[in-house]
Amino acid sequence: MSLPWYILGCGAMGSLHAAQLDRAGESVIMLPRSTPPGGGPLQLEICGLSTSRHALPWQAPEASAPIDRLLVLTKAYDVAAAIGSVARRLTPQSQVVLMANGMGYAEEIAARLPGLSLAFGTSTQGAHRTVDGKVHHAGLGSTRVGMPGVIDAPAWFSPLGQALPDCEWEADISMALWQKLAVNCAINPLTSLHNCRNGELARDPHLAQKVRDVCGEIAEVAEAAGQVLPDLESRVFSVIDATADNRSSMLQDVSRGQRTEIDYINGYLVRQARQLAVPAPLNEALWHAVRDLTAP
């Protein structure tokens, strides 16, 4: 039996990944922010593409058992604080896998907890909570995990790679993260501002042009940062196609009146652009427009 996977972030995506690891026979321990009602195991019901029930053990983040494998599926703005809540349980041997949308939180973690071994994951799987509390698995998607500069998959990756659908080690994770950032910079704010499903961004010529313009700005910022992104536009449109029926995570946040991840998506891109003195007016406009949508 391999070491247990601890899961930070018990929302739809955290629950989906926990269920997929559990189904593959891995030991999974949830780290909910508050005590689950009834105090017993956390009950998860996954429906949609895959249907299964899971009763998973949980621990309070402040428990004392050391954490060797930590999968983080919180919102981008919660990543650093969530890891901070289990910091005392992390050791030099701990492996942390960050799977949140966006970029910029790794720098926050490095400032608070220098020396932590961080891996990064990007996923196009889709999930959301239904009104009756189940997790709806909406898009199969693929997952890529990697660590900057690490070409071959380390041993800890093997159970994760087997448990998640189409999950592979990515030798060039920086490129994959920039590509995912571009996907989120284009799809998330535009679907939120136009209150539409992802597929509408390819069907409506005006929105499709905006997607192309966002991609153009990102490619220029990435290149100035030393990262070439080949075929960016077609990659973003193929994600739009594959997730055509999805309501993006940002549109879901906006509909619920919740904070969005915009500061870690277009906001991160604009901060990079400013540092590199590259203009990014469209991303800047999207950043502010989405912030205005959810301003108190």
Residues annotated as part of the active site:
180
Residue 229 has a CB neighbour count (10 Å cut-off) of 19
**Residue linked to tokens 């990007």:** 122
* 116 touches 109 (CB < 8 A): yes
**Span interacting with ligand PAF, options 76-84, 150-158, 179-187, 282-290, rule CB under 6 A:** 179-187
CB of 187 to ligand PAF, least distance (A): 4
Strand order of the sheet with strand 167-169? 28-30, 5-8, 67-72, 90-98, 117-123, 143-146, 167-169
Report if residue 74 touches ligand PAF, rule: CB under 6 A. Answer: no
CB of 60 to ligand PAF, least distance (A): 29
CB of 186 to ligand PAF, least distance (A): 8
* Residues 222 to 281 in contact with ligand PAF, rule: CB under 6 A: 239, 243, 246, 248-249
Smallest CA-to-CA distance from 187 within 253, 267, 255, 265 is with 265
* 283 touches 269 (CB < 8 A): yes
| Beta bridge mates, 95 | 69, 117
Would you say 58 or 178 has its CB closer to ligand PAF?
178
* Residues 114 to 143 in contact with ligand PAF, rule: CB under 6 A: 124, 126
Would you say 95 or 124 has its CB closer to ligand PAF?
124
Interface contacts to ligand PAF, rule CB under 6 A: 101, 124, 126, 183-184, 187-188, 198, 239, 243, 246, 248-249
